[in-house]
Every structure is written in C-alpha cells, then in structure tokens.
Structure 1
C-alpha cells in the first residue's frame, strides 16, 4: 500500500526539510494563515457581543462552527481524494479571503447584521475543513516517507505557536477597530493562497482507472478502509479516549481553579502555562520520536500522561495543578505527529484524504464532547470527579495501546 505514495524525489531523500522548497512554502503560508484564524477565533465572539450583547448568541456562533466541522469532515476527505489538492487549497483560500474581506468591510461600514456574521463563520468553517483535509493529505506528496513524522511535528509546532500568538494579537487588533481582525485574517489567507500557488510538485492523488463514483460511495470506502485495517482500528481505539482526556483535563483545570476562588487572571495564566507545554513539546517532537520505536513511544507517552493526570487530580484546587497537565501536553505533539506520520506512510495516496478524515473525526468528536461531559460531572460530582473521568479515559487509551502493541509494531 505504501508503494502507492507520491513522495519527494530520491535526490531529496537526505535533504533536511528546511531545504524542501514546496514544504517550506506550505508550512510558511499556513503559519501566517493559522495566526489569522486564531485572531478570528477571538474576534468573532467579541463582535457578536459588541453588536448584539448576547452571550448566548456568541456561544451559538462557536457551536455552529464546531457542528459544521464535524459534519463536513468525511465529505472533505473524499473531495481531497477526488480533486487536485493544491487547487482545493487555492479555492478554499480564495473563498476565505473573499468572506473575511466582505465581513471586515461590512463591520467597518456598520452594516454587519447577525445573520451575516453567522453566515461568514459557517462558510469559513466549511472552507477550513476542506482545506485541512487537502493540506494534511498533500504532505506525503511533498516530503520523503522517512521525513513524514518530522513534517507533522513541524505542523504541530506551527499550530501551538499560532494558538499562543493569535489571541493576544486578536485583542490588540480588535482594540484598533472591530473590523481590523477580520481584514487581517483576509490578508493571512491571501498569503496562504500565494504560498500554495508557488508549490511546484504535482498534488493529484493517484487514482486507479475506474468508473466515476458518488461522494457517498467514496466516503463509505474510506470508512471501510479504516474499519478493515487492524492498524487504523488500533489508532482510533487509542486516539479517541486520549484526545477526550487531553481536552477534558484542560477544561477541568479551568473549572476547578475557578471554583477554588482563583481570579480570572490567574486562571488565564494557568491556561497559558498549559499551552506553553504543548508548544515546547512540539518544538522537540521530532527528537522525542527518535528516542523510541513508534509503538513504544505511544505506550510510554500514554502511560506518562496517565501518571501526570493522576498527579494533577491530587493537586486539584492549587494553581500548580496545571504543571502536570502542561507536562502531559508536552508529549502530545510527539504522539500526534508520530501517528499522522505513520498513517501517511502506510496509506495509499488515492485514499489518504478519506482515511485521515475518518481518524481525525473520531479523535475530534471525542475531544469535542469533553467540555460537556466534564461540565456535567463537575456540576453533580465536583472537580475531583471530573478529573477522575479524564483519568479513566487515559487508562482506557493505555489499555488499548498495550493490547494493540503487536499491531502497532508491525504496521
């Protein structure tokens, strides 16, 4: 199956990624784009609150985007396998430039009704999912197979860096004017469009000669491929609960610290410390991956995470309860990039978009339920009970990893 991959030519096999022109263009463009997206994540609820003053409407906007991303995940993977991935990314960027330029202009002119804000947010979420499916799938066509874990590790560092830099920048830009963050985001997507346009390597998935198929057939094929693969089944069984745990423990920490009487400023600083742990881990993820074979890295990382989440639970209510969480998030980028690197290396290019979308949907769907479940547990059982829920999820992931270690080792 891996033989079907389209990778960098042999002459580039030993070259470092920083000398891979196409990957560097993609990575640089997405760095700017993701900072712009992080700016908008903050600006959207602020805009709704300033225009309409409703926290419920601001929350509904975030819910809309989350639902759109879940619903569009599988179709996006199918489209990424049907079409030229470079062209998909260009179209998505062009759409997002248009959307945010229009919204920024409307806000500047004082003509931004709530319906228009929701429409732009929803449409942008669709473009985000489709772009991400194509961008994740195209990595294996731009770098050599042996460099896939390193490439995904760099993408992890990019994401964590943007999530840290975006909100403060968004607050600063919003203070300059309510339209400025959206115009900035439009500019960031323009930069991404230009970077993608200069990629030279072909980005067409390898398709077998066959009769045209429906979108439903293509999505079903992706699901069947994942269900029929022992390795991918093992990945989902391990990744879903651990993503729930990582999301849940961060949300639990916020609720526990707030309930303990800590100020919003202190809680914010604690969240920042957790995020820094992820960023630092992303910066050294490639080195961490080289310390242990793939299957041992996964088992060791989840086992360490279980110990750290347990330690954080014992410290519940104290500000330094976030220290073990930050250490746990430090290991997450190495695990994520190793997983996606392995998936990309063993999956044929023609179906890679669908496979990655199925795996991503499983992981993100589990993580998205964490705040709701944790919130309910906190309300009825308290903060320690919520933390115990994340411990159970991490233990479930560890059991799945241990039980599947032979499958993970031979993949």
Structure 2
C-alpha cells in the first residue's frame, strides 16, 4: 500500500488528506463507543459482584484472544485489504454492543454472559488494532507520518475524554442505553472506513507458513531499539494499571458515582489530548529517546501520587499528568516503530506491537485486579507506580541506543529497501 501523493509541496496538514480525515472520524466514533462501553461494563460487573478480581477478569478475557491470535492477525493484515478488515471488525463490535443492550433490557446479562461477549470483543479487537496501525502510513505522505501518528492519537484521546463522561452520564438511564449508543457509533465508524479511497498495491498473498507468521517477531528481535521501545511501554502499562481499579476508587475511596467514574476515566485523556495536539503541531525534533524515558518515569510517579490521594480533585489532576506523560511515550514509540518498518511487514510488526502494548492494558487490568484482591487497591496501585520507575532505570542500562536516540528518521530521506523482490501487482484505486 503506498501513501497518496501530496496535493501541494507546501501543504503539511494531515487533515487535508480526505482518507486520513475519514480514518480520524472513524477512530473518534469507535473509541467513544469503546470507552462508553468500558464504563458501563466496569460499573455493571462491580454492582453484580463487588469483586476486584472480577474487574480484573474483564481485562483478562479481552487479553487472551489477542494473545493467541497475534501471529495470525498480523499475517491477515499483510495479505488482505486493511480497510475491509477494519470495517468488518467495527461492524462485529456494533453487534456485540447490541447483544449487551438486549441482555440488559431482558435481564439475562449476568457476569458469565458479560465475560463471553467481552471475549468476542477482545477477539475482534485483536484483528482491528494492528490493522488500523498498519493502515495509517498509507493515508498520508511519508514525511507527515509523525504528525499523522499524533493526530491519530488525538482522535483517540478526544474520544477518551468524551466517551467515559458521556457513558457515566447516560448510565443514569440504564446500561442498555449506553450499549445501544455504543452499537450505533461502532456501525457508524464501520461506514466511515468503507468510504476511504486510496491508491494501493495489492501484495502477493504468500502462504501462511510458520516463517511468515513469525516474521514480525524476528524483525523486532533483530532491532534492539524497537524491542526496547515496545517492551518499555509494555511494563509501564502492565505495572501502572491504575485505571482498572477506578470503579473501586470511585465507589469506595473517593465516594462518587457513575458520573464521577466517567470523569476519572476521562482525566488521563485531557492531558493526553493536549499533549497530542501540541506534538501534532510541534513534533519532537531532538533527544526523542531521552524524552520518552523521562515521560515514562513521570507516568510512574503520577501513578504513585494517585495511589495515595484521597481528594477527588487531586486524583483528577494526577490522572491528567499521567495521561500527558503517556502520550509523549506513545507518539515517540509509534512513530519510531512505523518509520523503521517496511510496509509489507507493518501488519505483522503491528500485531506483535499490539500484544506488547494494546493487550498489556487488559493484562495490566487483570494484574491490578489480582493484586488489589490480595493487598487492597491502594498498595496495588502504589507498587505498580514504583515498579514503573524501576523499569525505566533498568531499561536505560539495557537499551542505551534507544535512550540516546536523537531524532526520528525521515523515510523520505532514507527509505527502507524492500526485504524481498517485489512481486507482480496491479495498482488499484478503491
């Protein structure tokens, strides 16, 4: 898949490219739907069970399908039209949300039914996430990729601000209202993706051999800096999973309700969105490796402060700082990985990246739930924050090249040569 030609050499706005604008809108709609659904599922499960372990199980049942399907979904993303894959995944998510709504209306939605539907959502997300990551470089000229990554992140964070607060507010009308709204948004996002038209080169569909399935892992292993960037974020998210315990903090520690939970869920996105917009306009130009490590360390410190806070206002402010620091790490890591990966490998590399990063959110939720069940919510979050800071210090010693990374490479100036001779393909515009 090749990036569309720029309309004008002087044009540097990623939003002037219609395919990316449609992608941005789809990302906003689907993430709002997902965040509304997360609030409703979390609150509903805790009301049903009052169990920190069951809150952690919500994350685990989403993590498992992504883990076991990782190698397959990357291969699929590199063999088939990524737009079609994303469109189908979003539509299935819409159906899953509709099932949650129907179950809530008719009263058969118990803990086991929620876990089963969430498992389907996790399996669908396993295909959707790496496909969308691999799709972005084909929507804009290569020179705009770092800005496109920042704008894509801003779409996510805009939705993360709106979605949880909106979900908490609508939950007053009942969980079925939240799930129905989510279903409509997922299907709308699917329609937006179907409108994307880009010039593409359809690759030869190589057979699904063990070598091709493992190609993403082999590629990352051969590049220590990429491995360091991905694994740093993995452990930061895994250890710093405070958001999994927000229903407990809202209900038992900060004494607030669903609306307060929605605001707490939105707070990290407030800091992340402002940072993403800033980086979209003024990308980091020097010492990007050092900046990423400092940002992850701040993330850990913010997690420690949140763990000890008993003030709703202080907790909100701390979560804003947590989100802002996390966004710096996300933009640097995502841009670096995409720029260093040739297009024919992006699906498989993105799939491995999704297991390390995307699914670490769900595994982190499970880890936080189990630790909170053993030690209590405050010690669980506190230990996670301390662990994050320790990992940063250790990774500086293990990956000095990544820490010393000065600037992101411009692929237009130093293109990645193809790893194999190009196969016959027919350019098409669809």
Assess same fold via TM > 0.5: yes
Corresponding residue for residue 274 of structure 2: 280
Counterpart check, 1:339 vs 2:333:
yes
TM-score by length of 1: 0.80
Q: State whether structure 2 residue 402 is matched by structure 1 residue 404.
A: yes
Is the 1:86–1:196 contact (alpha carbons within 8 Å) kept by the matching residues of 2? yes
Pick aligned residue for 2:347 from 342, 347, 353 = 353
> Aligned partners of 2:61 and 2:332: how far apart in 1?
31
Specify whether residues 239 and 110 from structure 1 end up closer, same or farther in structure 2 by C-alpha distance, changes over 3 A only.
closer
The answer on 1:137 being equivalent to 2:134 is yes
TM-score, with length taken from structure 2 = 0.77
Q: CA deviation at 1:227?
A: 0.9
Q: 1:285 to 1:374 in 2, by over 3 A?
A: farther
The gaps in structure 1 that reach 5 residues or longer are none
Q: Which residue of 2 aligns with 1:72?
A: 69
Partner of 2:117: 120
Which deviates more, 98-107 or 25-34? Answer: 98-107
1:62-117 deviations in whole A, cap 9, x for unaligned? Answer: 43123233333332222111211111112212322333334433443445566544
Matches within 5 A, 1:46-85: 46-48=43-45, 55=51, 60-85=57-82
Change (3 A) 1:10 1:62: closer
Residues 1:285 and 1:197: Cα distance change in structure 2 (over 3 Å) = same
Partner residue in 2 for 1:213: 208
1:9 paired residue number: 5
For 1:159-184, what per-residue CA distance to the aligned partner results, in whole angstroms no more than 9, with x for missing partners?
22222222222233333243222221
Aligned residue in 2 for 1:170: 167
Residue pairs, 1:155-304, within 5 angstroms: 155-202=152-199, 207=203, 209=204, 212-214=207-209, 216-244=210-238, 247-248=240-241, 263-264=255-256, 273-290=267-284, 292-293=285-286, 296-303=287-294
Shift of 1:398: 3.6
3-state DSSP class of the match of 1:129? helix
Q: Quick check: 1:274–1:326 contact (8 Å CA) kept in 2?
A: yes
RMSD: 3.8
1:305-344 correspondence runs (5 A): 305-306=296-297, 309-310=300-301, 317-318=308-309, 319=311, 320=314, 323=317, 326-344=320-338
Give the corresponding residue for 1:34: 31
Q: For 1:7, what is the secondary structure of its paired residue?
A: coil
Q: Distance in 2 between matches of 1:159 and 1:233?
A: 24
Aligned-partner SS, 2:198: coil
Change in CA separation of 1:210 and 1:312 when aligned onto 2, cut-off 3 Å = closer
8 A contact 2:42–2:55 mirrored in 1: yes
**Relative to 1, partners in 2 of residues 1:325 and 1:309: Cα closer, same or farther, differing over 3 Å?**
farther
1:201 deviation in Å? 0.7
Paired position in structure 2 for 1:25 = 22
Do 2:271 and 2:323's aligned partners in 1 also have CA atoms closer than 8 Å?
A: yes
CA contact (8 A) 1:35 1:166 kept: yes
Secondary structure of the 1:277 match is helix
Q: 1:304·1:328 contact (CA, 8 Å) conserved in 2?
A: no
Q: CA deviation at 1:333?
A: 1.6
Q: CA deviation at 1:336?
A: 1.2
8 A Cα contact 1:239 1:397, kept in partner: no
Contact 1:77 1:354 in 2 (8 A): yes
**Corresponding residue SS for 1:285:** helix
Q: What does the per-residue CA deviation read over 1:360-404, in whole Å, with 9 as the maximum and x for residues that have no partner?
A: 322346553462686467789787655432321222244445443
Whole-Å Cα distance in 1 between the matches of residues 377 and 178 of structure 2? 36
Structure 1 pair 113–80 and aligned structure 2 pair: CA distance change class (3 A)? same
